[in-house]
Structure 1
Amino acid sequence: MTRREIFFVANEVNELGGVGRWQTQMARLFAERGHRVRIIGICPPEMPMDLGEDPPFETVTLHARRPPGRRGPHLLPGRLDPVVRRQQARRRAAAARMSRMFRAARPGAVIIVTQVWAMEWVALADTAGHSVIGMSHESFDASRRSSRFARVRTYFRDVDRLLLLTRQDADLWAGQGLNNVGFLPNPLPVLPGVPSPRTEKVVASIGRLSHAKGVDLLLDVWAEAAPRQPGWLLRIHGAGDHEEELRRQCTRLGLDDSVEWAGQTDDVTGALARCSLLVQSSRGEGFPLVLLEAMACGVPCVAFDCSPGVREIVEDGEDGLLARHGNTTELAAHLVRLMADENLRDTMGERARRNVLRFAPEVITDRWEELFAFLER
């Protein structure tokens, strides 16, 4: 096996969330195989994630605070707008710093750019002699609904490979004229030695309290499901700007006695060990790690079929249940079905724990190393 220098370039080194957790896991997996790994962040995170003591990779953050968005070159008499000049100077300095790191790397180095905003900075740097892999961790449809869509087409057009998380998303981007696309799913974050006993009457939700995660929809779902299965608790793990508004909605719906606000957790496995079902009500997802984690814990998932990544992970009717995107009544019915049937929960949980092994870390890491070797040829 060829030992390489691997750079991750991301918006932040350790932002709490799916991309940050994926990046940290992959950095560890590559380091365990003898690669030298560095993570370059453009700016500090708003919600930092603990990387643990003495992580086996280096980290660098280019800016002490998040740089402002670009402004157009407004002309003043005889000179460029000074704000624009300062922005350009900062961007040049950051690009020069990255260029120095890339130039010092051994031949065969790989630069993995995990987000398109980070790629806007890498595009200014000297990457000559190294493979550049761009990534989009969201579904094609989610990207198309955002400003990132045009930027992905612009900044990832000429990288050596643009990786999506599912074949369907890769095919859709290829239809946009990108001929460098491929796909690689996220690896399973953890496989506990002992699965959840699935004995507690608890449905867990784990994720940020944001519009994208659809916790407002989940409360509407729970208002339908809870009266049909008394004694069950919805435990919501997460934090975010929408928390106060969501708590008011919970009270308005009369759900305070059956909803627990558990706050942000770093112990996802522990949270899953104390529940019997996981529910996900997101408006959009890429390849949600929490579904992988729940299945690894033997916890069946009930989710909106909001992206190819969700149905790539959960096989509807086999190891979990999927509802049509945004259909709260259908999601509530799926929850009630599993809440009412202990044997079905156990059967689906056992299948989930078995089926999720196709995303085992060693399997996914092997595919990454095969890609590195292919791009080097």
Structure 2
Amino acid sequence: MSRLRDIFFVANEVDETGGVASWQHQMAGLFHERGHRVHVIGIAPAHFPMRRPAPPYRTTTLYGVRPPSPVRLTGRNRVNVTVRRQEAAREQERRRQAERLSRMFRDAAPGAVIIVPQVWAMEWVGLADTAGHLVIGMSHESFEASENSSRLRRGLEHWAGVDRLLALTAEDADQWIREGMNNVGFMPNPLPLTTDTPSTRDAKVVVSIGRLSPEKGVDMLLEAWAEAAPSHPDWLLRIYGTGDEEAALHKQCADLGLNGSVEWAGHTADVPSALRGASVFVQSSRSEGFPLTVLEAMSFAVPPVAFDCAPGVHEIIDDGVDGLLVRPGNTGELARQLGRLMDDQELRDGMGEKARVDVERYAPQRIADRWEELFAFLER
């Protein structure tokens, strides 16, 4: 049996709606079940908190309100006394909160593991005293997504000294290595849900599950559905999710004349029922990391159709075997691939059953074993 440890997750938030929070609570639960002492720490309160039962492990949020962003002391700011005082106060509070982290880490037994799944949180961990413990950073997005934001630059700065930086796929890890990082590995996300009662794929429903935000590409999904729906009048597109783009997407749906074939189902806490009521799953994202919703769909034997927008997507889906991949942003191709599955019950059933088998390589206990093997390796 692996040795029992103190395991800290230090993320931007404890309970923010989205994949990272779901992942960290799933992993925290797996480690807790194995007897580890788990503590989930968030830097700031969640913008959009995810409601979930009180966990059996400790949780802490450092700040009562989200801390202000730093201000560059250049130009006029350099001589602006008010700005300089505000920035000094912000930095003083940041160091005070980092010292809170230090005290928690010092109270842990030697050989604790500190897992930091977001680079913003790493700014506080980097200031804290982590002596005697392992620090593992993670990038929960594709390398391309990091490269197209400030997170690449910040990651190169703040993850350079950690014991291991984990990408989600070997392909993403290679990209970080090309940037000069010599501490990189990869670790896939675990399968979030398993079931003994998968979808029977007899409902003429295509399902999408995700935030209604630009990166999830629901606008492109509606364009594709406008092309696919006329030749499949007995099929329904059911979209689960809420978000900032909701009003604009509803308007787009109406403008495209799709109100009769699109159902806006809002947020759901019952993903199993949503998937059991579907025969096809669609993901139209502009960017992804290692998409949990695709794993969930496959575990319920619902064949996915997805834009191949990140290595994590084609790592999960074997194109033409257990799902269908589409060139990113190609809405016409997305419509055609959806049509293939809607038209062909035998194809749906074959891919759905194969998906359910193939996704077991990400079974939670298998991924937890890989984490424990990594802890032991890093201690050598």
**TM-score category of the 2 structures, normalised to the smaller one:** over 0.9
Q: Secondary structure at the match of 1:13?
A: coil
Residue 290 of structure 1: which of 274, 283, 293 is its match? Answer: 293
**Residue in 2 aligned with 1:86?**
89
- Deviations along 1:30-84, whole A, 9 cap, x unmatched? 000000000110011011112314x121100001111110012444488981111
1:18 aligns with 2:15: no
The residue number in structure 2 matching 1:347 is 350
**Distance in 1 of aligned mates of 2:220 and 2:187:** 30
Q: CA deviation at 1:182?
A: 0.2
C-alpha offsets along residues 134-190 of structure 1, whole Å, 9 cap, x if unaligned? 000000111111111100111111100000000000011100000000001000111
Give SS of 2:8's match: strand
- Mapping of 1:203-352 within 5 angstroms? 203-352=206-355
- Could you tell me which amino acid in structure 1 is paired with residue 197 of structure 2? V
Moved more, 172-181 or 75-84: 75-84
CA distance in 2, matches of 1:307, 1:81: 41
How much has 1:313 moved relative to structure 2? 0.5
Q: 1:78 to 1:278 in 2, by over 3 A?
A: closer
Partner of 2:171: 168
In 2: Cα distance, 1:352 partner to 1:229 partner: 24
Taking the aligned partners of 1:372 and 1:270, their CA distance within structure 2 comes to 36
SS in 2 for 1:322: strand
Equivalent residue for 2:194, pick from 158, 175, 191: 191
CA distance in 1, matches of 2:350, 2:344: 10
Query: Is the CA contact 1:24–1:51 (under 8 Å) kept in the aligned structure 2?
Result: no
The answer to whether the aligner puts 1:67 opposite 2:37 as a matched pair is: no
Aligned to 1:155: 158
> CA, structure 1 residues 79+302, in 2 after alignment: closer, same or farther (shift >3 Å)?
closer
Residues 7/329 of structure 1: CA separation in 2 closer, same or farther (3 Å cut): same
Structure 2 residue 130 is the aligned partner of structure 1 residue 115: no
Q: Distance in 1 between matches of 2:172 and 2:116?
A: 18
Identity value in percent: 61
- Asked if structure 2 preserves the Cα contact closer than 8 Å seen for 1:303 and 1:323, the reply is yes
Q: Distance in 1 between matches of 2:120 and 2:57?
A: 22
Matched, 1:96 2:99: yes
Alpha-carbon displacement from aligned partner over 1:211-265 (angstroms, at most 9, x marks no partner): 0000000000000011111110000000001000000000000000000000011
Q: CA deviation at 1:16?
A: 1.0
Separation in structure 1 between the aligned mates of residue 44 and residue 83 of structure 2, nearest angstrom: 26
Q: TM-score, normalised by structure 1?
A: 0.98
CA–CA separation in structure 2 for the residues paired with 1:280 and 1:343: 21
Task: Return the alpha-carbon distance in structure 2 between the equivalents of residues 78 and 317 of structure 1.
Answer: 63
Partner of 2:216, secondary structure, is coil
1:200 and 2:203 equivalent? yes
Q: 1:145 aligns with which of 148, 151, 156?
A: 148
- Gapped regions of structure 1 (runs ≥ 5): none
Three-state SS of the structure 2 residue aligned to 1:174 is helix
The one-letter amino acid of 1:137's match is H
Ranges of 4+ aligned residues in structure 1 off by more than 2 Å: 72-80
- Letter of the 2:43 partner, please give it: I
Residue 47 of structure 1 corresponds to: 48
Give the letter aligned to residue 70 of structure 1. P
CA distance in 2 between counterparts of 1:183 and 1:76 reads 45
Q: Give, in whole Å, the separation in 1 of the partners of 2:211 and 2:93.
A: 31
Indicate the residue corresponding to 2:3 in structure 1. 2
Task: Pick from 117, 124, 128 the counterpart of residue 127 of structure 2.
Answer: 124
The amino acid that maps onto 1:133 is: I
CA contact under 8 A between 1:139 and 1:286: conserved in structure 2? yes
CA gap 1:205/1:79 in 2 versus in 1, 3 angstroms:
closer
The letter for the 2-side match of 1:50 is R
Q: Given residue 60 of structure 2, which amino acid in structure 1 is its aligned partner?
A: V
In 2, distance between residues paired with 1:360 and 1:231? 35
Provide Cα deviations, 1:273-299, integer angstroms capped at 9, x if missing partner: 111110000000000000000000000
2:296 counterpart SS class: helix
- For structure 2, the 5+ residue unaligned runs are none
Aligned mates of 2:107, 2:189 — CA distance in 1: 30
Contact 1:219–1:250, Cα closer than 8 Å, also in 2: yes
